[in-house]
Amino acid sequence: MIKNNWTIEEVSEIYHSPLMELMYRAATVHHQHQATGEVQVCTLLSVKTGGCPEDCAYCPQAARYNTGVDAHKLMSYEEVVSTALVAKENGSTRFCMGAAWRNVKDNSDFDKVIDMVKGVNALGLEVCCTLGMLTEQQAQRLKEAGLYAYNHNLDTGEAHYDNIITTRTYKDRLETLDNVEKAGISVCCGGIIGLGETDADRIKLLHTLATREKHPESVPVNALVAVEGTPLAGSQKVDVWEMVRMIATARILMPKAMVRLSAGRNEMSVEQQVLCFMAGANSIFAGEKLLTTPNPDVNEDKAMFEKLGLKPRESFKVEHALAN
Protein backbone atom coordinates (compact mmCIF):
# COMPACT_ATOMS: atom_id res chain seq x y z
CA MET A 1 0.00 0.00 0.00
CA ILE A 2 1.23 3.50 -0.83
CA LYS A 3 0.68 5.87 2.05
CA ASN A 4 1.66 9.45 2.66
CA ASN A 5 0.42 9.90 6.19
CA TRP A 6 3.42 8.32 7.89
CA THR A 7 3.96 9.56 11.43
CA ILE A 8 7.42 10.52 12.56
CA GLU A 9 7.24 7.64 15.08
CA GLU A 10 6.53 5.15 12.29
CA VAL A 11 9.44 6.45 10.22
CA SER A 12 11.71 6.33 13.26
CA GLU A 13 10.66 2.77 14.07
CA ILE A 14 11.45 1.60 10.53
CA TYR A 15 14.74 3.52 10.41
CA HIS A 16 15.90 2.08 13.74
CA SER A 17 14.84 -1.52 13.09
CA PRO A 18 17.59 -4.18 13.13
CA LEU A 19 19.52 -3.94 9.89
CA MET A 20 18.86 -7.46 8.60
CA GLU A 21 15.15 -7.10 9.29
CA LEU A 22 15.13 -3.66 7.65
CA MET A 23 16.85 -4.96 4.52
CA TYR A 24 14.52 -7.93 4.28
CA ARG A 25 11.46 -5.71 4.60
CA ALA A 26 12.81 -3.24 2.04
CA ALA A 27 13.61 -6.05 -0.41
CA THR A 28 10.08 -7.41 0.02
CA VAL A 29 8.54 -4.00 -0.70
CA HIS A 30 10.88 -3.64 -3.66
CA HIS A 31 9.75 -6.97 -5.13
CA GLN A 32 6.09 -6.03 -4.66
CA HIS A 33 6.29 -2.60 -6.30
CA GLN A 34 9.24 -2.52 -8.67
CA ALA A 35 10.53 -4.62 -11.53
CA THR A 36 13.46 -6.43 -9.97
CA GLY A 37 16.59 -7.06 -11.97
CA GLU A 38 16.61 -3.62 -13.53
CA VAL A 39 18.31 -0.41 -12.59
CA GLN A 40 17.72 3.02 -14.06
CA VAL A 41 20.93 4.48 -15.46
CA CYS A 42 21.14 8.27 -15.45
CA THR A 43 23.84 10.63 -16.60
CA LEU A 44 24.39 13.95 -14.86
CA LEU A 45 26.16 16.69 -16.78
CA SER A 46 27.23 19.99 -15.32
CA VAL A 47 26.22 22.40 -18.09
CA LYS A 48 27.33 25.45 -16.08
CA THR A 49 29.97 24.87 -13.44
CA GLY A 50 31.13 26.84 -10.41
CA GLY A 51 30.76 30.48 -9.43
CA CYS A 52 27.53 29.82 -7.51
CA PRO A 53 26.49 32.56 -5.05
CA GLU A 54 24.99 30.07 -2.58
CA ASP A 55 26.87 28.78 0.48
CA CYS A 56 25.98 25.06 0.60
CA ALA A 57 28.68 23.77 2.95
CA TYR A 58 29.24 20.57 0.97
CA CYS A 59 29.52 22.10 -2.48
CA PRO A 60 32.76 22.70 -4.38
CA GLN A 61 30.88 24.94 -6.84
CA ALA A 62 30.12 27.71 -4.34
CA ALA A 63 32.14 30.76 -5.42
CA ARG A 64 33.07 31.59 -1.84
CA TYR A 65 35.07 28.37 -1.29
CA ASN A 66 38.50 27.84 -2.76
CA THR A 67 38.15 24.35 -4.15
CA GLY A 68 40.00 24.52 -7.44
CA VAL A 69 36.84 23.73 -9.43
CA ASP A 70 37.26 24.71 -13.04
CA ALA A 71 34.38 27.17 -13.47
CA HIS A 72 32.84 27.46 -16.93
CA LYS A 73 29.97 29.32 -18.52
CA LEU A 74 26.94 27.61 -19.97
CA MET A 75 27.98 24.88 -22.40
CA SER A 76 26.85 25.09 -26.00
CA TYR A 77 23.78 23.29 -27.32
CA GLU A 78 25.98 21.12 -29.57
CA GLU A 79 28.26 20.01 -26.70
CA VAL A 80 25.32 19.12 -24.50
CA VAL A 81 23.35 17.20 -27.12
CA SER A 82 26.41 15.29 -28.29
CA THR A 83 27.21 14.35 -24.66
CA ALA A 84 23.62 13.18 -24.24
CA LEU A 85 23.94 11.04 -27.35
CA VAL A 86 27.07 9.34 -25.99
CA ALA A 87 25.28 8.80 -22.66
CA LYS A 88 22.39 7.17 -24.54
CA GLU A 89 24.78 4.92 -26.48
CA ASN A 90 26.32 3.90 -23.16
CA GLY A 91 22.93 2.81 -21.81
CA SER A 92 21.64 5.88 -19.97
CA THR A 93 17.92 6.49 -20.25
CA ARG A 94 17.77 9.67 -18.21
CA PHE A 95 19.95 12.70 -18.80
CA CYS A 96 20.17 15.39 -16.14
CA MET A 97 21.61 18.83 -16.78
CA GLY A 98 22.86 20.76 -13.78
CA ALA A 99 23.65 24.48 -13.59
CA ALA A 100 25.26 26.09 -10.55
CA TRP A 101 22.66 28.83 -10.22
CA ARG A 102 20.85 30.11 -7.14
CA ASN A 103 17.68 30.35 -9.17
CA VAL A 104 16.63 30.45 -12.80
CA LYS A 105 16.53 33.89 -14.37
CA ASP A 106 14.42 34.72 -17.40
CA ASN A 107 17.39 35.50 -19.61
CA SER A 108 19.16 34.16 -22.69
CA ASP A 109 20.87 31.40 -20.68
CA PHE A 110 17.46 30.03 -19.71
CA ASP A 111 16.40 30.22 -23.37
CA LYS A 112 19.47 28.12 -24.22
CA VAL A 113 18.60 25.56 -21.54
CA ILE A 114 15.09 25.35 -22.99
CA ASP A 115 16.65 24.50 -26.38
CA MET A 116 18.88 21.89 -24.73
CA VAL A 117 15.84 20.29 -23.10
CA LYS A 118 14.16 20.08 -26.52
CA GLY A 119 17.30 18.66 -28.13
CA VAL A 120 17.87 15.97 -25.48
CA ASN A 121 14.18 15.09 -25.41
CA ALA A 122 14.30 14.52 -29.17
CA LEU A 123 16.92 11.80 -28.55
CA GLY A 124 14.31 9.78 -26.67
CA LEU A 125 15.91 10.33 -23.28
CA GLU A 126 14.05 11.33 -20.14
CA VAL A 127 15.32 14.86 -19.57
CA CYS A 128 15.93 16.20 -16.10
CA CYS A 129 17.30 19.56 -14.97
CA THR A 130 18.69 20.87 -11.72
CA LEU A 131 18.97 24.63 -12.01
CA GLY A 132 18.13 25.95 -8.56
CA MET A 133 14.94 27.67 -7.52
CA LEU A 134 12.20 27.97 -10.09
CA THR A 135 8.94 29.91 -10.46
CA GLU A 136 5.74 28.25 -11.61
CA GLN A 137 5.98 29.98 -15.01
CA GLN A 138 9.57 28.83 -15.52
CA ALA A 139 8.55 25.29 -14.59
CA GLN A 140 5.76 25.52 -17.15
CA ARG A 141 8.21 26.61 -19.85
CA LEU A 142 10.46 23.66 -19.06
CA LYS A 143 7.48 21.32 -19.18
CA GLU A 144 6.44 22.64 -22.59
CA ALA A 145 9.99 22.08 -23.84
CA GLY A 146 9.68 18.42 -22.86
CA LEU A 147 11.27 18.32 -19.41
CA TYR A 148 10.48 15.03 -17.70
CA ALA A 149 11.88 15.59 -14.20
CA TYR A 150 13.33 18.35 -12.07
CA ASN A 151 15.86 17.69 -9.34
CA HIS A 152 15.81 19.85 -6.25
CA ASN A 153 17.13 18.14 -3.13
CA LEU A 154 16.06 18.99 0.39
CA ASP A 155 19.55 17.87 1.44
CA THR A 156 18.80 17.22 5.14
CA GLY A 157 16.15 17.53 7.83
CA GLU A 158 14.69 20.99 8.34
CA ALA A 159 16.26 21.49 11.79
CA HIS A 160 19.77 20.93 10.42
CA TYR A 161 19.30 22.92 7.23
CA ASP A 162 20.55 26.28 8.60
CA ASN A 163 23.82 24.64 9.65
CA ILE A 164 24.49 23.68 6.03
CA ILE A 165 22.97 26.51 3.98
CA THR A 166 22.18 30.06 5.06
CA THR A 167 21.51 31.70 1.69
CA ARG A 168 18.03 30.18 1.26
CA THR A 169 15.44 28.52 3.45
CA TYR A 170 13.81 25.12 3.60
CA LYS A 171 10.57 26.86 2.69
CA ASP A 172 12.17 28.19 -0.53
CA ARG A 173 13.11 24.65 -1.38
CA LEU A 174 9.63 23.29 -0.79
CA GLU A 175 8.11 26.09 -2.86
CA THR A 176 10.19 25.12 -5.88
CA LEU A 177 9.09 21.51 -5.47
CA ASP A 178 5.48 22.69 -5.44
CA ASN A 179 6.04 24.78 -8.60
CA VAL A 180 7.57 21.79 -10.36
CA GLU A 181 4.65 19.60 -9.37
CA LYS A 182 2.07 22.17 -10.47
CA ALA A 183 3.64 22.20 -13.93
CA GLY A 184 3.19 18.43 -14.16
CA ILE A 185 6.93 17.66 -14.03
CA SER A 186 8.18 14.65 -12.04
CA VAL A 187 9.90 15.59 -8.82
CA CYS A 188 13.35 14.24 -8.08
CA CYS A 189 14.19 15.04 -4.47
CA GLY A 190 16.43 13.47 -1.89
CA GLY A 191 19.30 14.32 0.38
CA ILE A 192 22.85 13.86 1.52
CA ILE A 193 24.08 12.01 4.56
CA GLY A 194 27.35 12.78 6.30
CA LEU A 195 26.65 16.49 6.81
CA GLY A 196 27.01 16.21 10.58
CA GLU A 197 23.30 15.49 10.97
CA THR A 198 21.76 13.26 13.62
CA ASP A 199 19.57 10.22 13.01
CA ALA A 200 16.63 12.46 13.93
CA ASP A 201 17.54 14.81 11.05
CA ARG A 202 17.66 11.91 8.59
CA ILE A 203 14.33 10.63 9.87
CA LYS A 204 12.81 14.09 9.48
CA LEU A 205 14.08 14.38 5.91
CA LEU A 206 12.58 11.00 5.00
CA HIS A 207 9.36 11.93 6.78
CA THR A 208 9.11 15.22 4.81
CA LEU A 209 9.57 13.36 1.51
CA ALA A 210 7.26 10.49 2.34
CA THR A 211 4.42 12.71 3.54
CA ARG A 212 4.25 14.90 0.44
CA GLU A 213 0.87 14.60 -1.22
CA LYS A 214 2.63 12.81 -4.04
CA HIS A 215 5.87 10.98 -3.28
CA PRO A 216 8.83 12.17 -5.34
CA GLU A 217 9.18 10.11 -8.50
CA SER A 218 12.85 9.70 -7.67
CA VAL A 219 14.79 9.98 -4.44
CA PRO A 220 18.54 10.37 -4.68
CA VAL A 221 20.43 9.23 -1.59
CA ASN A 222 23.89 10.78 -1.53
CA ALA A 223 26.86 10.20 0.74
CA LEU A 224 28.92 13.32 1.27
CA VAL A 225 31.99 13.53 -0.91
CA ALA A 226 34.07 15.80 1.30
CA VAL A 227 35.94 18.22 -0.96
CA GLU A 228 39.01 20.16 0.13
CA GLY A 229 38.23 23.85 0.49
CA THR A 230 34.58 23.39 1.52
CA PRO A 231 33.56 23.82 5.19
CA LEU A 232 32.83 20.08 5.33
CA ALA A 233 36.30 19.01 4.15
CA GLY A 234 37.71 16.49 6.59
CA SER A 235 34.25 15.14 7.51
CA GLN A 236 34.16 11.49 8.43
CA LYS A 237 33.45 9.12 5.55
CA VAL A 238 29.87 7.79 5.56
CA ASP A 239 29.70 4.14 6.57
CA VAL A 240 28.06 1.92 3.96
CA TRP A 241 25.61 0.59 6.55
CA GLU A 242 24.29 4.10 7.03
CA MET A 243 23.64 4.32 3.30
CA VAL A 244 21.92 0.94 3.40
CA ARG A 245 19.73 2.05 6.31
CA MET A 246 18.76 5.26 4.54
CA ILE A 247 18.02 3.54 1.23
CA ALA A 248 16.01 0.73 2.84
CA THR A 249 13.90 3.16 4.85
CA ALA A 250 13.26 5.28 1.73
CA ARG A 251 12.21 2.16 -0.19
CA ILE A 252 9.73 1.08 2.50
CA LEU A 253 8.24 4.57 2.86
CA MET A 254 8.04 5.32 -0.88
CA PRO A 255 7.60 1.96 -2.64
CA LYS A 256 7.06 3.36 -6.14
CA ALA A 257 9.92 5.86 -6.15
CA MET A 258 13.16 5.31 -7.99
CA VAL A 259 15.66 5.28 -5.12
CA ARG A 260 18.96 6.47 -6.52
CA LEU A 261 22.34 5.45 -5.19
CA SER A 262 24.04 8.73 -6.01
CA ALA A 263 27.17 10.55 -4.79
CA GLY A 264 29.62 8.43 -2.86
CA ARG A 265 29.24 5.39 -5.13
CA ASN A 266 32.77 5.90 -6.42
CA GLU A 267 34.13 4.96 -3.00
CA MET A 268 32.01 1.79 -2.77
CA SER A 269 33.05 -1.72 -3.72
CA VAL A 270 30.75 -3.79 -5.94
CA GLU A 271 29.80 -5.77 -2.82
CA GLN A 272 28.77 -2.60 -1.02
CA GLN A 273 26.70 -1.48 -4.01
CA VAL A 274 24.99 -4.88 -4.00
CA LEU A 275 23.91 -4.26 -0.42
CA CYS A 276 22.37 -0.97 -1.55
CA PHE A 277 20.56 -2.66 -4.47
CA MET A 278 19.27 -5.35 -2.11
CA ALA A 279 18.03 -2.61 0.22
CA GLY A 280 15.93 -1.16 -2.61
CA ALA A 281 18.15 1.16 -4.65
CA ASN A 282 17.17 0.87 -8.31
CA SER A 283 18.87 3.81 -9.96
CA ILE A 284 22.44 5.01 -10.38
CA PHE A 285 24.35 7.82 -12.01
CA ALA A 286 26.68 6.71 -14.78
CA GLY A 287 29.57 8.58 -16.32
CA GLU A 288 33.01 9.53 -15.13
CA LYS A 289 31.87 12.64 -13.27
CA LEU A 290 29.02 13.54 -10.99
CA LEU A 291 28.93 17.30 -11.62
CA THR A 292 32.47 17.88 -10.36
CA THR A 293 33.39 14.78 -8.33
CA PRO A 294 34.56 11.39 -9.70
CA ASN A 295 32.10 8.58 -10.46
CA PRO A 296 32.68 4.93 -11.48
CA ASP A 297 33.70 4.22 -15.05
CA VAL A 298 30.93 3.20 -17.51
CA ASN A 299 32.70 -0.07 -18.31
CA GLU A 300 33.04 -0.96 -14.61
CA ASP A 301 29.28 -0.45 -14.29
CA LYS A 302 28.59 -2.60 -17.35
CA ALA A 303 30.72 -5.39 -15.84
CA MET A 304 28.89 -5.03 -12.52
CA PHE A 305 25.48 -5.24 -14.24
CA GLU A 306 26.57 -8.36 -16.09
CA LYS A 307 27.87 -10.01 -12.94
CA LEU A 308 24.68 -9.24 -11.01
CA GLY A 309 22.27 -10.05 -13.84
CA LEU A 310 20.92 -6.50 -13.87
CA LYS A 311 19.71 -4.66 -16.92
CA PRO A 312 19.18 -0.93 -17.48
CA ARG A 313 15.59 0.24 -17.12
CA GLU A 314 14.06 1.49 -20.35
CA SER A 315 13.09 5.15 -20.63
CA PHE A 316 9.52 6.44 -20.20
CA LYS A 317 8.55 3.16 -18.57
CA VAL A 318 5.67 4.67 -16.63
CA GLU A 319 4.12 6.12 -19.81
CA HIS A 320 4.55 2.81 -21.61
CA ALA A 321 2.78 1.01 -18.79
CA LEU A 322 -0.09 3.51 -18.81
CA ALA A 323 -0.46 3.24 -22.58
CA ASN A 324 -0.78 -0.55 -22.50
54 binds ligand SF4 (CB under 6 A): yes
132 binds ligand SF4 (CB under 6 A): yes
188 binds ligand SF4 (CB under 6 A): no
Q: Which stretch binds ligand SF4 (CB under 6 A): 24-32, 51-59, 213-221, 250-258?
A: 51-59
Instruction: Give the E-state strand segments of 49-193 in sequence order.
Output: 94-99, 126-130, 149-151, 186-188, 191-193
197 binds ligand SF4 (CB under 6 A): no
Whichever of 98 and 255 has its CB closer to ligand SF4, that residue is 98
59 binds ligand SF4 (CB under 6 A): yes
Phi-psi map region of 221: left, alpha, beta (phi>0 left; psi -120 to 50 alpha): beta
- Are 216 and 187 contacting, i.e. CB atoms less than 8 angstroms apart? yes
Q: Provide CB contacts within 8 A for 52, sequence distance 6+.
A: 59, 61, 62, 63, 100, 101, 102
Looking only at residues 100 through 129 of this chain, which bind ligand SF4 when binding is defined by CB under 6 A?
Answer: 100
Instruction: Give the E-state strand segments of the chain in sequence order.
Output: 38-48, 94-99, 126-130, 149-151, 186-188, 191-193, 218-223, 258-261, 283-286, 289-290, 293-294, 311-312
Cβ–Cβ contacts within 10 Å for residue 141, how many? 19
56 binds ligand SF4 (CB under 6 A): yes
Phi-psi map region of 196: left, alpha, beta (phi>0 left; psi -120 to 50 alpha): left
Q: Which stretch binds ligand SF4 (CB under 6 A): 58-66, 188-196, 218-226, 313-321?
A: 58-66
Q: Residues with catalytic annotation?
A: 52, 56, 59, 96, 128, 188, 260
Whichever of 132 and 191 has its CB closer to ligand SF4, that residue is 132
Contact string 66-105 vs ligand SF4 (x = CB under 6 A): ----------------------------------x-----
181 binds ligand SF4 (CB under 6 A): no
Q: Which residues bind ligand SF4 (CB under 6 A)?
A: 52, 54, 56, 59, 61-62, 100, 132
